[in-house]
Structures are given as C-alpha cells and as structure tokens.
C-alpha cells in the first residue's frame, strides 16, 4: 500500500492509516514504517495473533467504531489478510465506498484462508483495482460489474522501483551474513497450509536441504515467527545447511531477493517481486494466485514434495532471466488514487 500512501501525500489528499496490529513485532511491523518513511498509523487496534474468528471479530469491532466516529469518503484495503476481511465487512455495512487494491487474485483453493478473504473482499467492494488482465477476468466471471473493475498494474512494481535504488545505498547485509551476491538460495515459508501440517513442513525443510546440497551454496531462511513455533512444536530437525535468520528489514530482504541465485517460497508477494526482479523462483505450493509469474517463465510450482522441490529448482537455476514483467509499469499507486478521485468527484 506504500505507493498509494505516497501518492496521497504528493497530491495533498487527506488520509489516515488504520493499523489492526495483525502483525505486531518490530521485525514484522514497525521496521516497515521506519524504512519506507511512512507516516505512523492514526489508529492501532493492537489485536495481536489468535484464532481466525476471534482475531477478525476484534478487528471488526474496532474498525466499526473508528469508521462511525470519523468521516471517510472511502476506505481502501489491500491484499488477502484477515485485516482485509474485517476492513471490507466493517466498511460495507456502514455504506462507505470500498476499494480493494490487488483485487481479482484467485488460487481456486478454498482451503487457504487468504482465498476466502479476497473473494469476500472482492464481492463487497465498490471499486476493484485489479493488477492484471487475468485478475480482471476472474472478477468478470464472478459477475462483478465491469464499471467497477479497473486494471491498474500492481503496486508491488511501484514499491520495488521506488525502494531498490534506496536499498542499494547500503549493501552491508551481504558482509553481515557472509555471502556473495548470486551465491546463495533465499527461502521463505509461512503459509498456514504448509507450516501447520507436519508432513508439509518436514517436506519443505528436506526439499530446501536437497537444493542447497545440489547447488552447493548457502541457504538463507529468514524464518517467520509462526514457522519457528511450528518447527519447535513438531520437534523437526533443521538441516545444518539451512541458516535460520530472524525476520529481516524490507530493504535488506529486497537486496537479498534481487541478488539471490534462486528463491524458494510459498508467499504470493514474493512470487511477484521475484518475477519483477527477474530472480528465478520456485513456489512450494500446488497452486498460485499469481499465475502470470508461471506463464512468463519466472516461477515453477513444486508443492512440498522434496524431490519435486529439487527438480523444479534445477530447472529454474538454468533459466534465462529474460522474462517480461507482467505486473505493470510502476505507476499503479498514482493510477489508483486518480481513479478514486474521479469516482468520488473529489
């Protein structure tokens, strides 16, 4: 959302950031506000973690109170988190115009909580800011009015373009971690359907180990708190070839992502960023809501079987990094703001 926030500031559009506190540690929260030089949240509900229902209920209660007390011309939500679900529900019930940034993404796997969240948000939203033609087509097939669908590109392109140059001013993360550019594999894995299932998480760790051994390079794994907890709960052995790291700042991670030999992930956003940066990616899932990354040749779906992860990694490691970026021209934030102002006649 940072490019939309920056566009609001540049065009003197009054706005406020409402933070639910779904992410609340310094590494997963405050560091992003600081590094991206974003204004602080006007509200922070501090809901913390918890079961989906309880967490969403706390958000819904807090958001409804804020939206009633303050006067908003429109509310924007972005992505597929529980925050988006609660924001969409609270806003739509109060009759406030609602815009969904990154609308129309579909994995067609309803066992994923994120899939439910984005479907509900799309069907409650008045303005659907789809990043690609594929996303817009998904919305049309589901009967959403074409008059409310806008293909804007993805704000992740804006964010990468705006921040990579800044990140490159300080490349000390490589020396700090003792790695050379292009000589390591970068890993992220945190999806509920992967890390909450012992068989899947075990398969991911084994697959990562096989890839590291095959390529003969260091494996860097900034581990999400949820994943770390489940590794301990399942008493899984982390292979010696995998270096578990604390979560990194946005700039540090962006640098590592841009210079990695290969990225293994189950994150949707990381798939997009790798595609934009032309870093070969293997997705440790059976499906993706970012099929464009696969279509252009920047990504392969491997699931969590170790041998499948290894075989996909070997293919992507040899891939020519010449695919096209399918996610837009880096002006999505400004485009979304212009469309919003036009629609609201402000």
85-137 pLDDT per residue, tens = 999 999 999 999 999 999 999 999 998 899 999 999 999 999 999 999 999 99
Q: What is the pLDDT of residue 193?
A: 87
Instruction: State the pLDDT confidence band at 165, using cuts at 50, 70 and 90.
Output: confident
Q: What is the dihedral of CA 342, 147, 330, 282, to 10 degrees?
A: 150
The region of weakest confidence among 143-147, 212-216, 317-321, 342-346 is 342-346
Average pLDDT value for residue range 14-41 = 80
Q: Give the number of C-alpha atoms closer than 13 A to the C-alpha of residue 45, restricted to the C-beta side.
A: 26
Average pLDDT value for residue range 30-41 = 84
Q: Report the C-alpha gap between 314 and 290 in whole angstroms.
A: 21
Question: Rounded to the nearest 5°, which phi and psi values hold at 329?
Answer: -100, 5
Average pLDDT, the chain: 94
The two structure tokens encoding residue 319: 């891939």
Task: Answer for the pair 294, 253: CB distance below 8 angstroms, yes or no.
Answer: no
**299 strand-pairing partners:** 281
Rounded percentage of the chain residues whose pLDDT exceeds 70: 98
Q: What is the pLDDT of residue 50?
A: 79
Q: Give the number of C-alpha atoms closer than 13 A to the C-alpha of residue 61, restricted to the C-beta side.
A: 9
Instruction: State the pLDDT confidence band at 83, using cuts at 50, 70 and 90.
Output: very high
Q: What is the pLDDT of residue 27?
A: 57
Average pLDDT value for residue range 7-27 = 84
Catalytic site residue from 19, 100, 190, 224: 190
Nearest to 281 by CA among 259, 302, 300, 258: 300
For residue 231, pLDDT over 90 is answered with yes
Q: What is the pLDDT of residue 26?
A: 53
Question: Rounded to the nearest 5°, which phi and psi values hold at 150?
Answer: -130, 125
190 is catalytic: yes
**For residue range 172-198, what is the model confidence (pLDDT) as tens digits?**
999 999 999 999 999 999 888 899 999
For residue 147, pLDDT over 80 is answered with yes
**What domains are defined for the chain?**
2-154+328-344 (3.40.50.2000), 170-317 (3.40.50.2000)
For residue 221, pLDDT over 70 is answered with yes
Instruction: State the pLDDT confidence band at 259, using cuts at 50, 70 and 90.
Output: very high
Nearest to 251 by CA among 174, 167, 175: 167
Q: Report the C-alpha gap between 128 and 249 in whole angstroms.
A: 30
Q: Report the C-alpha gap between 346 and 342 in whole angstroms.
A: 7
pTM assigned to the model? 0.91
Q: How buried is 11 (Cβ within 10 angstroms: 0-12 exposed, 13-18 middle, 19+ buried)?
A: exposed
Q: Report the C-alpha gap between 297 and 320 in whole angstroms.
A: 9
What is the Cα 55 distance to its own chain's centre?
20
């Amino acid at each position: 959302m940072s490019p939309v926030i920056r566009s609001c500031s540049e065009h003197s559009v009054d706005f406020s950031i409402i933070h639910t506190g779904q992410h609340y540690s310094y590494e997963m929260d405050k560091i992003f506000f600081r590094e991206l030089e974003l204004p602080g949240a006007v509200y922070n509900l501090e809901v913390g973690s918890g079961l989906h229902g309880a967490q969403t209920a706390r958000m819904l209660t807090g958001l409804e109170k804020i939206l009633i007390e303050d006067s908003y011309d429109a509310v924007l939500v972005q992505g597929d988190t529980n925050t988006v679900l609660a924001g969409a529900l609270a806003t739509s019930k109060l009759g406030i115009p609602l815009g969904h940034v990154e609308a129309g993404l579909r994995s067609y796997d309803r066992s994923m909580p994120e899939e439910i969240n984005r479907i509900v948000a799309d069907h409650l939203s008045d303005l659907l800011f789809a990043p690609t033609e594929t996303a817009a087509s998904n919305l049309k097939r589901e009967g959403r009015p074409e008059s409310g669908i806008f293909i804007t590109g993805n704000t992740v392109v804006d964010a990468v373009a705006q921040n990579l140059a800044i990140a490159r001013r300080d490349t000390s993360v490589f020396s700090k971690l003792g790695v050379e550019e292009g000589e390591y594999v970068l890993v992220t894995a945190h999806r509920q359907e992967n890390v909450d299932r012992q068989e899947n998480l075990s398969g991911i760790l084994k697959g990562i180990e096989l890839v590291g051994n095959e390529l003969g390079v260091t494996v860097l794994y900034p581990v999400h708190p949820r994943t770390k907890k489940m590794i301990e709960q399942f008493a899984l052995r982390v292979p010696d070839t995998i270096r578990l790291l604390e979560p990194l700042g946005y700039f540090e991670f962006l640098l590592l992502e841009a210079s990695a030999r290969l990225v293994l992930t189950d994150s949707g956003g990381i798939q997009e960023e790798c595609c934009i940066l032309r870093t070969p990616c293997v997705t440790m899932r059976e499906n993706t809501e970012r099929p464009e990354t696969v279509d252009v040749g920047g990504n392969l779906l491997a699931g969590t079987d170790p041998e499948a992860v290894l075989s996909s990694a070997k293919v992507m490691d040899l891939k020519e990094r010449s695919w096209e970026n399918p996610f837009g021209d880096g002006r999505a934030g400004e485009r979304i703001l212009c469309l919003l102002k036009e629609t609201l006649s402000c």
